[in-house]
Amino acid sequence: DAGITQSPRHKVTETGTPVTLRCHQTENHRYMYWYRQDPGHGLRLIHYSYGVKDTDKGEVSDGYSVSRSKTEDFLLTLESATSSQTSVYFCATVADTYEQYFGPGTRLTVT
């Protein structure tokens, strides 16, 4: 599982509040990803990182920002949470042999 942890695992927050989700990996993998998963949509890429301080947008990046100040940590921030951001969020890293490993997920509910 590439030593990926996500925190928090569950969070309930109110509309308009900022939220930060953390992904931590212990394998020193260069690439890291944030996905969201919603019923009927499968997994969709939000942002990804290809190194410290190097990030890029995915297909559903609006309303989200990311930061990567250390190889092992990739943070996803919802600046002002909305109900449409209620979802399960998965972090992933890529091994040297190209397979992706996913974290256990964070279930976020925005009320």
Partner 1 sequence: DAKTTQPPSMDCAEGRAANLPCNHSTISGNEYVYWYRQIHSQGPQYIIHGLKNNETNEMASLIITEDRKSSTLILPHATLRDTAVYYCIVRVAGSGGSNYKLTFGKGTLLTVNP
Question: Terminus-to-terminus CA distance in the chain, angstroms?
Answer: 32
Indicate whether 25 belongs to the interface with partner 1 (CB under 8 A).
no
Q: CA-CA distance, 42 to 79, in Å (whole number)?
A: 24
Is 33 a residue that touches partner 1 (CB under 8 A)? yes
Residue 103 binding partner 1, by CB under 8 A: yes
Work out whether 64 is an interface residue with partner 1 (CB under 8 A).
no
C-alpha span between 14 and 59 (Å, rounded): 25
52 lies in the binding site for partner 1 (CB under 8 A): no
List 7, 15, 50, 82, residue binding partner 1 (CB under 8 A): 50
